[in-house]
Amino acid sequence: MDEVFKALSDPSRRRLLDSLNDRTGQTLRELCAELEMTRQAVSKHLAVLEAANLVTIRWRGREKLHYLNAEPVNAIAERWINRYDRGRVHALADLKTALESATMSEEFVYTTYIRTTPERLWQALTDPAFTRRYWGATFETDWQPGSSMTWEQQGWVSKDPEQVIVTADPYTTLSYTWHTVDRAFADQFGFSAEDFERLSTEPRSTVTFELTPVGETVKLTVLHNGFGPESLMLAGIREGWPGILSNLKTLLETGETLPEPAED
């Protein structure tokens, strides 16, 4: 937590976060050009932000891309906003919202560190007894590449030939195609006719979980991509994933899921 507050205390680093909030997934060269800062200065500030987990790095070929990561602020918000009067922490809540709303990238990237083992985290990602608790969804499959997956969530069931496991390298990488939106899904989760019309024509996306041991924790990076321009599904998962992953982290570290938010 101290690293996060230290990283946010510098105005230049806040400018970098603002830039990534406007357009996440930028290269070092792009960040330098937009902010009119030297390459050395930007590199140093990015190193501090990465150490605080406010920025996530991914390689695309030979390009190093920098993504805004909302997880640390989510964690602080859960601790402080849930414990104290919400009226006194609007600034933190606003920052949390801003960091979750990064735009101009047709993918979602999120990194969190969980005090667990790769084996336990893999089980939490694949075992229905776990997924039902922190997600409210279960997946019926043998978790082998190419195998089909049956998705069940709050009474809605989805199974089709293109809903499959893409990669399954135990304790390291798991990837599968996301569900599409049918009429039953729209009815179950209260989508408007307009939203259903848009969602039903969107391409199928893919989610990937990357597990990396780091000391007594596991670094979990979630990459969700394959969306079209102005994707309504992407807007939805940007709101949904932080809560799911916070719940997962809390369950593995404490044995309990997060409490339901209090009514205002």
User: Are 226 and 99 part of one and the same domain?
Assistant: no
pLDDT at 89 over 50: no
pLDDT value at position 73?
73
Residue 260 lies in a domain: no
Whether 206 contacts 166, CB under 8 Å: yes
Residue 264 lies in a domain: no
pLDDT at 88 over 50: no
pLDDT at 90 over 90: no
Mean pLDDT, to the nearest integer, of 125-141?
97
Tens-place pLDDT, residues 176-204? 999 999 999 999 999 999 999 999 999 99
Tens-place pLDDT, residues 46-57? 999 999 889 998
Q: What is the pTM of this model?
A: 0.78
Choosing from 104, 132, 156, the residue where a domain stops is 104
Q: Which residue range is the domain that position 74 belongs to?
A: 2-104
Lowest mean pLDDT among 62-71, 86-95, 175-184, 253-262: 86-95
d(CA 233, CA 228): 9
d(CA 233, CA 111): 20
CATH code for the domain in which residue 56 is found: 1.10.10.10
Lowest mean pLDDT among 53-67, 124-138, 148-162: 53-67
Cα 248 to its chain centre, rounded Å, is 12
